[in-house]
Amino acid sequence: MAVNESYLRNTFENAPMGVAFFTLDGTILRANPAFQKMLGYSEDDLRGMSTHEFTHPEDIARDHKLVTKGTDIEHTLLQMERRYIRKDGAIIWGQVTGIIVDFEQQAVFAAIIKDITHQKASQAQQKFEEKMSSLERVASAVSHDFRNLLSLIDTQAKLIQMDQDSGTSHTRPLQNIFAAIERGSSLIDQITRLTSSNAAPCEPVKLDQFIEELAATLQQIAGKTVPLRYQLDPSTPVQLEPDRLQEILFNLVANARYAVRNGGFITIGVEERTLEDASPSKLGTITPGTYVVLTIRDTGEGMEPETISHIFEPFYTTHELSADSGRGLAQVSINVRRARGHITVESTPGVGTAFHVFFPLPPKKPAPQKTVPDTPISH
């Protein structure tokens, strides 16, 4: 019996997945080290803690109903996916497989919890890619037809212009037509760029120096009343397309400007960061390694999780409608992906938002091996 207890204890302590025992009202009785690491809490923190304290609010009611339903049939296997809020505030996904058993004359929910955060991120990225692929086909067809229509309007307007005398009543309407054609052409160019796969040559770029050279332009984008602050650490050059990097910067600063329209400031930061473990992002999983990280942080109104889940979708916007509504962050996402980078978002309503763009450092080339010349053999 002692051997079995020792075996079970070692299995519990060393299991690679989270293992925990809960009362049916959600109070934690025991949690193994893997579950502690998953949530960022110590064993003492978790003991006696309610699952409601670290479960996403939208999942609490649903999971409580599922567990309560399972109490009607002892030893019924229950499976669910739920979101947990780590001690540091990050949201992770857990796949819970549990069973209700009798333990010391008390019904207890014994569960194995697998961290599926990266899997969920990959699924979300696949859906995003499928949506973008469909949009690219639609946008390409619409752009082609719209360009033909503008060309016809432009031709007819020029014929009218040739037939009329200067200063007649047609002058102002024709000017308006030409202005509309120019705006329409600009719109087509933006849509074409959004869906274009053409790549310009990459070159080594030091982000801190690149941003310093654009400081005056970035301040113009932010506006005279919005303070820009800089936290630029010296960085290793990264292979990037300068035009696309500039577009990433301009769009993120413009987005931050809107967030602080009622007051606040914007911080632009650059640092090198080494990731020891894989981490989820809006563009899949960030693999371990060293990255140059660009951060655009604002102290504006912040966003709800539901908004964050849509912000990189083309034409999705929470701003007032304008000529370029909804394309800025979609273009950022595309440009980051083409740079083989990743982007993450953290936001708290009423506090602000931070976008982190991870650019991978090129792999270090192995040092050339010195060849030792053959030593002649003396006879």
pLDDT band at 327 (very low <50, low <70, confident <90, very high): low
Give the alpha-carbon dihedral of 169, 174, 177, 183, to 10 degrees: -120
| 240 strand-pairing partners | 203
> Which residue is associated with the tokens 């923190």?
45
Q: What are the pLDDT digits (tens) for 152-206?
A: 777 767 777 776 655 555 666 677 777 777 777 766 666 666 555 555 678 899 9
pLDDT value of position 185: 72
Rounded Cα distance, 359 and 341, in Å = 5
Grade residue 379 by pLDDT with cuts at 50, 70 and 90.
Answer: very low
Identical fold, 120-195 and 203-360: no
156 vs 323: CA distance, rounded Å: 25
Q: What is the pTM of this model?
A: 0.56
Q: What tens digit of pLDDT does each residue of 15-65 get?
A: 899 999 988 888 898 899 999 999 999 988 998 898 889 988 888 776 656
CATH class of the region 2-115: alpha beta
Instruction: Look up residue 360 and give its two tokens.
Output: 């991978």
Q: In what order do the strands lie in the sheet with 91-103?
A: 28-31, 18-23, 106-115, 91-103, 77-85
Report the C-alpha gap between 191 and 194 in whole angstroms. 5
Model confidence pLDDT, tens digit, residues 129-147:
776 666 666 666 667 667 7
Tell me if the domain spanning 120-195 has CATH number 1.25.40: no
Domain boundaries, the chain: 2-115, 120-195, 203-360
Which residues make Cβ contacts (< 8 Å) with residue 56, sequence separation at least 6?
A: 82, 83, 84, 85, 91
Average pLDDT of the chain is: 80
Which pair of structure tokens corresponds to residue 282?
Answer: 């809006």
Rounded to 5 degrees, what are φ and ψ at 222? -70, -30
CB distance 126 to 133 below 8 Å: no
**Distances from the Cα of 79 to the Cαs of 63, 113, 122, in angstroms?**
10, 10, 21
Measured distance CA(182)–CA(162) in Å, rounded = 19
- Residue with the larger pLDDT of the pair 22 and 126: 22
Dihedral sign from CA coordinates of 301, 307, 308, 314: negative
CATH number for region 203-360? 3.30.565.10
pLDDT score at 208: 95
At 5 the three-state DSSP class reads: helix
